[in-house]
Structure 1
Amino acid sequence: MRQIHQLQTAWWVYPTAEHTRFQHILGVMHLASRLVNQLYPSLKTACPDAPSRGYVESLLRMAGLLHDVGHGPFGHFFDSHYLQGYGLTHESLGAHIIRTQLGEMLTKLRRNPFSQLEEEEQLDPEQIAWMIQRPQAGDAANRPKWLVFLRSLLCGIYTIDNMDFVLRDAYMTGYSQQSYDLERLIRYSFFTEKGLTIHERGMAALIRFMNVRAELFQTVYFHREVIAIDKTLEDLFAASKPWLLPGNPVEHLDAYRGFTEFSLLVDAPRWQHSSDPHQAEIGRQWNDLLSRKIPWRFICERSLRFDEGESQETTIFRSESFAAAAIRDVLPAELKEIPLKIALNRTVFRPNTRGPSDHQNFLYDSAQKKIKELTTDKIFRSLPVSRLVCRIYAQDLSLAPQLAAALDRLVGNHAVDDLTNM
């Protein structure tokens, strides 16, 4: 974790953002104790069968500490451009590491700095492995209610994970020294019989947090130059796969654990001295990347908003390849074969209510003394489900007017007219 940057490739653009996933996971573990201190009494009331505070706190702390243990170089980028080819994510791989390599050690944990397990209790690594993964339909059916509630602190709207990285990334990039009110968000949170609930007095803090998180995606994680680097890395990773790992990371865990950004960015440029001409060329391209010789130039962008009941999957922006084909289709004939790349960067504000990750957060109405859906709050309901930024990258900036016009045809009101007055 010390050798994998928290900000994927954004540290190339934000020079002070040199923090790694190691600092982040320590912060997440710390927030686990902060949240348990606030929430355990209400958890025990809502779920009388919940184990001791020592067990709950140790479980959540270990889930926080290990939630990123499956990450490879460049974090989520590696998920999409390597792990996905083996049907894996960093979460599923992390769960496998917890079960097979860390389980025995976890069962021996008896205390944390603030509490301890009861004599007859023993941490269950399977519970930690389950908690760190994104909810899937039906996967909570045989889990105790208290454990399902705790998982909302790792995959709900505001979690020990994103509450840490929003504060940390905003500070380290210079975006903001105090981007949202963490204390208020914690203070007005509690468990009810429905799950993690926020008092109406805390809604302003929650809305602020959600907006700041979205702003970070737009200004930092999806910065136009960050995406240009990602687009360069796409081609490099595809060409470099034969030399990255021996095969499926699940079958080569020792090699995977030693595969970090540090090792990759030292080893890959050395390939330019290989006797294999193809590997040598890839090595030269890695060296160019380290020298910030980025072939892709930002041309233009347009934003789209998706509200409740609207789906990106039903539009031409369902995938980057589909959008690229649509762009080429409306370009003049002499430009249809130019090198270009499309980036579709999606920011999720709140879960789609039809998905399995929904129904983890609720609102307390103090006047009616009722637990309600968060969508009953008018301001919360006014937030989009997601926002998509479509960007075009090319290698020739002089083509910007034609490419921007083509993108406008796809996102604007340029309907095709009928041929006759039928």
Structure 2
Amino acid sequence: MSYKTEQLHEEKVFKDPVHRYIHVKDRVIWDLIGAKEFQRLRRIKQLGTTHLTFHGAEHSRFNHSLGVYEIVRRIIQNFEGRPNWNPAERILCLCAALLHDLGHGPFSHSFEKVFRLDHEDFTRKIILGKTEVNAILKRVEPDFPQQVADVINKTYEDKLVVSLISSQIDADRMDYLQRDAYFTGVSYGHFDMERILRVMRPMEDQVVIKETGMHAVEDYIMSRYQMYWQVYFHPVTRSAEVILSKILHRAKHLYEEGYQFALEPTHFLSFFSGEVELEEYIELDESIALYYFHMWQRENDNILKDLCDRFMNRRLFKYIEFNPNLQMNEWMELFSLFKEVEIDPDYYLVVDSSSDLPYDFYRPGEEEERLPIHLLLPKNNELKELSRQSDIVESISGKKRTDHKLYFPLDLLDKISDDHQGKTRIFEILFG
């Protein structure tokens, strides 16, 4: 028996709050779960700083990755024996589903923005580099790591395989919507996944949905829309992200200026220099980052000390609605006034913008081309793009919503003397 088809003597199961059980029978999947690069995902939160808004959101990338694997496993189970499905692709789909988030760093997207990193790039590097994951995948076939990387990179020749993990209705989204809703305690992310899985059908280059499942897909898309605006873009979470990013910016700036840290930022040095080796990237997780933030509360630099204290003890910035495109003059005046009252605006006056496009159909040549969701009609197996059949989806298709907030430390402003003219003007701009 080859390693590719080797089965465990006894099926392993993970108890899961979303899918009830996650089933593992393949030896290669079990070995990948045990690899240190995959175990590292236990120490990376799925939702970054969201636990400071929704206290239950402590779940990890490890939880989510297992969930995506389980959904793909069930989809494939339903595809068995159907036209257009190649059973030889089974283990490739399962491995790609399990490993799709392998390269996430601590606090995920906030961390990436500061150091201009790409977690997908590091996912490929882990899969193709000198790692335990790579050694396991090579046991399947010498070029198997490249195949897995190609699926995650969306360059694999079989687009049906890619669409299971990366499309507008894929296993990744179906897991994180339900999982994030469960752990944040909200109801928005719930939809009838069982129904969607039952009506999924494999076509040559993508998964399509039987027309009878249209209403379940509508519910899924609206759930995604609500989760983004009620959870993922929550203004309090964004306040924590702003402070986190400013901590990292400040530490990087101090290092470049030759500041002598009481606790040398050893684990961050390669990130500060922009020359990150794979081994250094894998070593840094949220537990280590939080240790530095905790210790930096004792630094001599007042800005770094204050920002770390805010993040560790949830003393977050306040916010107001603020559109920089329409209020640029006010922004420039605030920037000058903050300097006047000796509050550094580079760290304490931040405009944060969030935007989302809940669903779109194919627009050739645009920056982010999106393959639409297709419905399979009963007559002649004709395909129809979802928004052409659904009034609900049509109403939000192609409509990008953007939200701007201005973040600032109200507590520091309150400490300024009331007779200071700068304080009076700042409050006039902020609060009218």
- Asked if Structure 1 and Structure 2 have the same fold, meaning a TM-score greater than 0.5 normalized by the shorter chain, the answer is yes
Equivalent of 2:123 in 64, 73, 94: 94
In the alignment, which residue of structure 2 is the partner of 1:179? 190
| Cα offset, 1:324, TM superposition | 3.3
Taking the aligned partners of 1:225 and 1:400, their CA distance within structure 2 comes to 21
Alignment of 1:327 with 2:327, yes or no, is yes
SS of equivalent to 1:19: coil
Taking the aligned partners of 1:23 and 1:124, their CA distance within structure 2 comes to 24
Q: Name which of structure 1's ranges 222-231 and 327-336 shifts more when overlaid on structure 2.
A: 327-336
Taking the aligned partners of 2:326 and 2:409, their CA distance within structure 1 comes to 19
Q: Which runs of 5+ in 1 are unaligned?
A: 110-120, 302-322, 406-422
Alignment of 1:72 with 2:72, yes or no, is no
In the alignment, which residue of structure 2 is the partner of 1:129? 149
Q: Which runs of 5+ in 2 are unaligned?
A: 1-40, 256-264, 339-344, 414-423
What does the per-residue CA deviation read over 1:18-58, in whole Å, with 9 as the maximum and x for residues that have no partner? 1111111111111110111123433xx226xx3xx3x4222
In the alignment, which residue of structure 2 is the partner of 1:316? none
| Cα offset, 1:282, TM superposition | 2.0
| Cα offset, 1:337, TM superposition | 4.3
Q: For the structure 1 residues 254 and 300, does the alpha-carbon distance in structure 2 shift closer, same or farther, using more than 3 Å as the test?
A: same
SS of equivalent to 2:42: coil
SS of equivalent to 2:173: helix
In the alignment, which residue of structure 2 is the partner of 1:246? 269
In the alignment, which residue of structure 2 is the partner of 1:347? 356
In the alignment, which residue of structure 2 is the partner of 1:114? none
| Cα offset, 1:250, TM superposition | 7.3
In the alignment, which residue of structure 1 is the partner of 2:37? none
TM-score (norm 1): 0.74
What does the per-residue CA deviation read over 1:60-106, in whole Å, with 9 as the maximum and x for residues that have no partner? 22112111111111112222222x2xxx4101111111011232311
Taking the aligned partners of 1:333 and 1:66, their CA distance within structure 2 comes to 48
Equivalent of 2:308 in 273, 277, 286: 286
Q: For the structure 1 residues 157 and 178, does the alpha-carbon distance in structure 2 shift closer, same or farther, using more than 3 Å as the test?
A: closer
Taking the aligned partners of 1:332 and 1:22, their CA distance within structure 2 comes to 43
Q: For the structure 1 residues 298 and 217, does the alpha-carbon distance in structure 2 shift closer, same or farther, using more than 3 Å as the test?
A: same
Percentage of pairs with the same residue: 25
Taking the aligned partners of 1:332 and 1:4, their CA distance within structure 2 comes to 37
Q: For the structure 1 residues 272 and 336, does the alpha-carbon distance in structure 2 shift closer, same or farther, using more than 3 Å as the test?
A: closer
Alignment of 1:81 with 2:75, yes or no, is no
Taking the aligned partners of 1:70 and 1:281, their CA distance within structure 2 comes to 30
Contact 2:387/2:397, CA 8 A, preserved across alignment: no
TM-score (norm 2): 0.73
Q: For the structure 1 residues 283 and 400, does the alpha-carbon distance in structure 2 shift closer, same or farther, using more than 3 Å as the test?
A: closer
In the alignment, which residue of structure 2 is the partner of 1:103? 134
In the alignment, which residue of structure 1 is the partner of 2:318? 297
What does the per-residue CA deviation read over 1:136-192, in whole Å, with 9 as the maximum and x for residues that have no partner? xxxx4xx43xx2111111210111111111111111111129710001111111122
Taking the aligned partners of 1:250 and 1:130, their CA distance within structure 2 comes to 25
| Cα offset, 1:264, TM superposition | 0.8
Taking the aligned partners of 1:401 and 1:216, their CA distance within structure 2 comes to 34
- For the aligned residues, what is the CA RMSD? 2.9
Q: For the structure 1 residues 103 and 330, does the alpha-carbon distance in structure 2 shift closer, same or farther, using more than 3 Å as the test?
A: same
Q: How does 1:18-417 map to 2 (within 5 A)?
A: 18-42=58-82, 45-46=83-84, 50=86, 53=87, 55-82=88-115, 84=116, 88-100=117-129, 101=131, 102-109=133-140, 124-133=144-153, 135=154, 140=155, 143-144=156-157, 147-176=158-187, 179-241=190-252, 242=255, 243=265, 244-247=267-270, 251-273=276-298, 277-278=300-301, 282-294=304-316, 296-300=317-321, 324=324, 326-329=326-329, 337-338=337-338, 339=345, 340-351=349-360, 353-354=362-363, 355=366, 357-359=369-371, 361-367=373-379, 369-379=381-391, 380-385=393-398, 386-396=400-410, 402-403=429-430
| Cα offset, 1:336, TM superposition | 6.4
Q: For the structure 1 residues 292 and 359, does the alpha-carbon distance in structure 2 shift closer, same or farther, using more than 3 Å as the test?
A: closer
One-letter amino acid of the structure 2 residue matched with residue 90 of structure 1: H
Taking the aligned partners of 1:402 and 1:273, their CA distance within structure 2 comes to 34
Q: For the structure 1 residues 337 and 39, does the alpha-carbon distance in structure 2 shift closer, same or farther, using more than 3 Å as the test?
A: farther
One-letter amino acid of the structure 1 residue matched with residue 394 of structure 2: R
One-letter amino acid of the structure 2 residue matched with residue 106 of structure 1: L
Contact 2:352/2:404, CA 8 A, preserved across alignment: yes
Q: Compare relative contact order (CA 8 Å, sep 6+) and give the higher one, 1 or 2.
A: 1
Contact 1:180/1:208, CA 8 A, preserved across alignment: yes
Q: For the structure 1 residues 124 and 404, does the alpha-carbon distance in structure 2 shift closer, same or farther, using more than 3 Å as the test?
A: farther
Q: Name which of structure 1's ranges 394-403 and 4-13 shifts more when overlaid on structure 2.
A: 394-403
Q: How many equivalent pairs are there?
A: 349
Contact 1:344/1:388, CA 8 A, preserved across alignment: yes
Q: For the structure 1 residues 342 and 335, does the alpha-carbon distance in structure 2 shift closer, same or farther, using more than 3 Å as the test?
A: closer
| Cα offset, 1:281, TM superposition | 5.3
